């Protein structure tokens, strides 16, 4: 692994870079063996956001113009990675813009948080409705059932998890230990929502995590397996399962779309990774996501 401090120093020394921050749990009291060093940088001359990972250090790069634009909440909520910005730790900010963005996010009033929540819930509802139209019905087969499950999970993590946390003015954690972070942040306040997430992923503790890890072999998931194994060894069993289920759905979408043409051996491995026998499929998965949407709206 590269030395994260040296990477950070190089960014700060680069005259094109106008702000740098640390993100994630690495380097904090919550760090663990699988924490990935992550940096956020705003850079002149960049045309679009980029994520670069080299030798174990990840850098999220954004155009300098966004550092100015995202001081406006109405713009930031439409296009900024607000959770990343709100929870990062600024190390270089000569213009002071990064700090202003964070203060805006930290001090949002109830009205703005409610509007942000409704934006997220609206996006979630639209995606679930689109999935219902295209992936369910009399003609739906095994591949549609799995694609619906993958979409229900993506909506839950990307939109409903952040929406739920707006009730307590908290920002989501998207690291590999996401289920554990969600339970810690929301388990007591929103037990129904946490229960629905568990059901959607078919968590099964250490036994299921071990089974899923074994199924990664031969599917081109070497890097993902390494990260999941680190989580497993740290006791984040459900985090390892969530990560591998989502990474499998993302990297093997082509397999899901041509499910009936796969060999039985490949289908068996992917079924284990996706949790096809332990999770709700098709309309049932979308129904759970819809219940989670209602929970996020009501804060329960």
Residue-level pLDDT at 214: 96
Give the pLDDT confidence of 103-120 residue by residue, as tens digits: 999 999 999 999 999 999
Do 128 and 93 fall into the same domain? no
Structure tokens at 139: 């003609």
Count of domains forming the chain = 2
| Same-domain status, 32 and 175 | no
pLDDT reading at 1 higher than 80 = no
Residues 28 and 52 in one domain: yes
Residues 139 and 161 in one domain: yes
Residues spanned by the domain of 196:
110-298
pLDDT at residue 167 in the model: 96
Q: Are residues 237 and 138 in the same domain?
A: yes
Q: Are residues 131 and 207 in the same domain?
A: yes
Would you place residue 300 in the very low, low, confident or very high pLDDT band (cuts 50, 70, 90)? confident
- Residue 53 phi/psi, 5-degree rounding, is -125, 120
Interval 125-183: pLDDT, tens: 999 999 999 999 888 899 999 999 999 999 999 999 999 999 999 999 989 999 999 99
Interacting residues of 92 by C-beta distance below 8 A, sequence separation 6+:
11, 12, 17, 19, 20, 21
- pLDDT computed for residue 247 by the predictor: 97
The answer to whether the pTM exceeds 0.85 is yes
User: Hunting for tokens 């709700």 — which residue is that?
Assistant: 280
The domain that contains 97 carries what CATH number?
A: 3.30.460.10
Domain limit, last residue, from 45, 72, 106: 106
Round to whole Å and give the CA distance between 298 and 16.
45
Shared-domain flag, residues 140 and 16: no
Tell me, yes or no, whether 146 and 96 share the same domain: no
Q: Nearest to residue 117, comparing CAs of 65, 60, 172, 59?
A: 172
Note the pLDDT of residue 43.
Answer: 97
120 shares its domain with 245: yes
Q: 286 and 143, same structural domain?
A: yes
Same domain membership, residue 10 and residue 131: no
**Cβ count near 141 (within 10 Å):** 10
Between 55 and 248, name the one with better pLDDT.
248
């Amino acid at each position: 692994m590269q030395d994260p401090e040296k990477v950070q120093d190089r960014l700060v020394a680069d005259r094109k870079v106008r702000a740098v921050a640390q993100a994630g749990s690495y380097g904090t009291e919550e760090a663990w063996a699988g924490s990935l060093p992550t940096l956020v940088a705003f850079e002149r001359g960049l045309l679009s956001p980029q994520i670069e990972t080299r030798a174990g250090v990840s850098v999220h790069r954004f155009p300098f113009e966004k550092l100015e634009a995202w001081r406006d909440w109405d713009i930031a909520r439409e296009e900024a990675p607000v959770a990343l910005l709100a929870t990062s730790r600024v190390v270089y900010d000569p213009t002071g813009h990064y700090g202003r963005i964070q203060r805006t996010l930290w001090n949002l009033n109830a009205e703005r948080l409610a509007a942000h929540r409704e934006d997220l819930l609206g996006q979630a509802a639209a995606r679930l409705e689109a999935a219902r139209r295209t992936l369910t019905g009399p003609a739906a087969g095994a591949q549609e059932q799995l694609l619906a499950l993958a979409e229900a999970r993506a909506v839950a993590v990307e939109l409903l998890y952040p929406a739920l946390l707006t009730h307590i003015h908290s920002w989501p954690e998207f690291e590999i230990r996401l289920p554990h972070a969600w339970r810690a942040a929301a388990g007591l306040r929103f037990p129904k929502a946490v229960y629905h997430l568990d059901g959607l992923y078919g968590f099964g503790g250490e036994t299921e995590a071990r089974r899923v890890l074994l199924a990664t072999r031969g599917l081109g998931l070497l890097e993902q397996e390494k990260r999941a194994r680190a989580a497993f060894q740290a006791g984040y069993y459900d985090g390892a399962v969530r990560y591998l289920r989502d990474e499998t759905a993302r990297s093997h979408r082509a397999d899901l779309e041509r499910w009936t043409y796969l060999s039985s051996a490949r289908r068996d491995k992917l079924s284990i990774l996706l949790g096809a026998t332990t999770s709700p499929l098709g309309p049932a998965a979308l129904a759970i996501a819809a219940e989670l949407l209602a929970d996020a709206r009501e804060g329960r």
